[in-house]
Amino acid sequence: MKTSKKDSKGKRPAAARTDSQRRQLLAGLACLPALLWWNKASATTPLVCDVAVIGAGVFGSWIAWHLAQRGQQVVLVDAYAPGNGLSSSGGDTRVIRMAYGPDAIYSRMAAESLTQWQKLGQALDARHRPSTPLFHPTGVLWLSRHRNGYFNHSLDTLQALGIPTRVFDSPSALQRAYPQMDYHGIGTGFLEPGSGALAARQCVRVVAEEAMRNGARWLQATAAAPEPVASQKGERLRIPLRTATGPAQLLARQAVYACGAWLPKVFPQLLSRRIVPTRQEVFYLNLKAVSAPLAARYAPARFPVWADFNDGDVFYGIPDVAGYGFKIAHDKHGPVMDPDTADRRVSEAAEREMRAYLRKRFPELAEAPLASVRVCQYENTSNGDFLLDRHPTLPNVWLAGGGSGHSFKHGPAVGRWMAELVTGARTPTHPRFTLSSKDTTQKRAVI
Ligand SMILES: Cc1cc2nc3c(=O)[nH]c(=O)nc-3n(C[C@H](O)[C@H](O)[C@H](O)COP(=O)(O)OP(=O)(O)OC[C@H]3O[C@@H](n4cnc5c(N)ncnc54)[C@H](O)[C@@H]3O)c2cc1C
């Protein structure tokens, strides 16, 4: 098994981490020429806009896109770059699936979002923009011991929404369709043939660039919480900024804070226990290093994205859609993590756990070498419902976050939702997205 050397605590060495972080930051910077950089804000001559969107992850980028489409003057601000390596959106790939058990609201949002992701991809193709696909239609395979409530609710909802599914009522039916897996203890499954994987980091960069094409402006800066101001011109908020060249400020009528795992840092009193970042470790296996036929057996054309309920201890994976490797992850909340200071080396314990799962379900992959690894954070609300609501005391300030490990796919629908709230086209938000519905004790419910 080829892996980089580890120290006595089972961590990979700091030099390796530094290299990988450097690569991530360079990858983030690759989009700079495509963006209109606007770094003229200073403490004395502030930038002025209708809406400041703070955070260029999948939420902020789509919010800026939708607001710019509606003719709002938008400034999109990020401390680094869209889809940067520290952000939750900065991964290589993310699953887009429609099934959400009893939570039909997310099935509807996922369906709307898939259409929008596809439209965006088609628009780029029409402009002959050289890029790898944003969406890979691999299908998504769900697996479980029994036909449980989650399966039944999902199938009912998808049928009502007109989303095709293919049900496998026995392990032998699964075996015939996908002989790659060991179905011991699995009794049933279903496939969403139209779903698949999104090229996450690339998607975010493209959406941010498209927001710029629609007229949004870009600012690289770290923003603090806003302060209300009285202004004759109608600007109501002053947003203190820290840029590479010193302090600056942004004046805006409204602001949307879409800061992912940093939201509790910007609004500590309000959110420190309502959004809890947790450490998540992801592995990519290099199947080609084992053999070309093995890699071919798990290629996207022959094996889909999959999620195994595994009696409540969910594992999921994505085939090698763009040379990243065969992705596998344990969908269990890890320890609380600080997105700025966390050690992003994977732990030996997580790799052991992943390989134990492989031995059970994919025995021929159990010793496959790693192509790469990644440590990232979920930004969890108490039950997994998003936070898309007005700030309770700061006028004209909006909060968009709490993606809770499942929000990437929903970027387009969340962007529309927030743009409608900000422009007054929707009021109030959905009861499940309110701040008041967010508890301070973690009880994960949305899967
Ligand atoms: C390992 C892993 C696997 C996942 N898998 C899936 C999946 O398969 N499918 C799915 O749908 N979802 C998945 N998710 C969840 C999804 O990726 C996240 O919920 C989503 O990306 C969150 O987006 P965001 O825009 O809210 O936050 P982020 O992407 O974290 O963006 C926040 C941005 O705000 C910026 N920022 C923060 N503070 C400031 C400040 N003060 N000033 C300026 N900028 C600031 C940051 O630099 C960052 O760019 C996964 C998450 C992880 C970690």
If one residue of 96, 220, 259, 377 were mutated to test the ligand 1 pocket, choosing by the most ligand atoms within 8 A of its CB, it would be: 259
How confident is the model over 231-284, as pLDDT tens digits? 777 778 999 999 999 999 999 999 999 999 999 999 999 999 999 999 999 999
If one residue of 239, 408, 433, 447 were mutated to test the ligand 1 pocket, choosing by the most ligand atoms within 8 A of its CB, it would be: 408
CA of 165 from ligand 1 middle (Å) equals 29
pLDDT band at 40 (very low <50, low <70, confident <90, very high): low
48 within 8 A of 33, measured Cβ to Cβ: no
414 within 8 A of 403, measured Cβ to Cβ: no
> Residue 108 contacts by C-beta under 8 Å, 6 or more apart in sequence?
161
User: CA–CA separation, 370 vs 360, rounded Å?
Assistant: 18
Return the structure tokens found at 46: 């502030």
In the chain, pLDDT over 70 holds for what percent of residues? Answer: 90
If one residue of 89, 257, 321 were mutated to test the ligand 1 pocket, choosing by the most ligand atoms within 8 A of its CB, it would be: 89
pLDDT band at 41 (very low <50, low <70, confident <90, very high): low
CA of 50 from ligand 1 middle (Å) equals 24
Strand 237-243, strand 246-257: pairing: antiparallel
Return the structure tokens found at 241: 């900024």
Q: Ligand 1, atom 33: nearest CA belongs to which residue?
A: 55
**Which residue in 370, 342, 67, 30 sits closest to 201, CA to CA?**
30
> Which pLDDT value is given to residue 5?
38
CA 387 to chain centroid: 15
If one residue of 39, 94, 113, 388 were mutated to test the ligand 1 pocket, choosing by the most ligand atoms within 8 A of its CB, it would be: 94
For 129, phi and psi rounded to 5 degrees?
Answer: -80, 120
DSSP annotation of 184: T
User: CA–CA separation, 278 vs 288, rounded Å?
Assistant: 32
**Higher local confidence (pLDDT), 8 or 51:** 51
User: CA–CA separation, 64 vs 116, rounded Å?
Assistant: 15
Count of H-run helices and E-run strands, the chain: 11, 20
Mapped onto helix, strand or coil, the DSSP state of residue 300 is coil
If you search the block for the tokens 């496998």, which residue do you land on? Answer: 168
pLDDT band at 45 (very low <50, low <70, confident <90, very high): confident
Region 216-242 average pLDDT = 91
Strand 196-198, strand 237-243: pairing: unpaired
**Which residue in 281, 286, 302, 307 sits closest to 367, CA to CA?**
286
346 within 8 A of 283, measured Cβ to Cβ: yes
CA of 139 from ligand 1 middle (Å) equals 24
**Which residue in 152, 154, 186 sits closest to 171, CA to CA?**
186
* CB of 434 shorter than 6 A to ligand 1: no
Region 15-35 average pLDDT = 44
**Which residue in 335, 412, 430 sits closest to 112, CA to CA?**
412
pTM of the model: 0.92
How confident is the model over 291-331, as pLDDT tens digits? 999 999 999 999 999 999 998 899 999 999 989 999 999 99
Domains assigned to the chain: 14-89+201-272+383-433 (3.50.50.60), 136-197+276-380 (3.30.9.10)
DSSP annotation of 82: T
CA of 233 from ligand 1 middle (Å) equals 34
> Which pLDDT value is given to residue 213?
96
171 within 8 A of 186, measured Cβ to Cβ: yes
> Which pLDDT value is given to residue 12?
40
**Which residue in 369, 366, 371 sits closest to 181, CA to CA?**
366
User: CA–CA separation, 435 vs 438, rounded Å?
Assistant: 5
Cis status, amide bond into 428, omega within 30 of 0: yes
User: CA–CA separation, 179 vs 378, rounded Å?
Assistant: 32
User: pLDDT averaged over the chain?
Assistant: 91
CA of 91 from ligand 1 middle (Å) equals 9
Q: Ligand 1, atom 16: nearest CA belongs to which residue?
A: 408
* CB of 85 shorter than 6 A to ligand 1: no
**Which residue in 137, 93, 131, 130 sits closest to 114, CA to CA?**
137
* CB of 63 shorter than 6 A to ligand 1: no
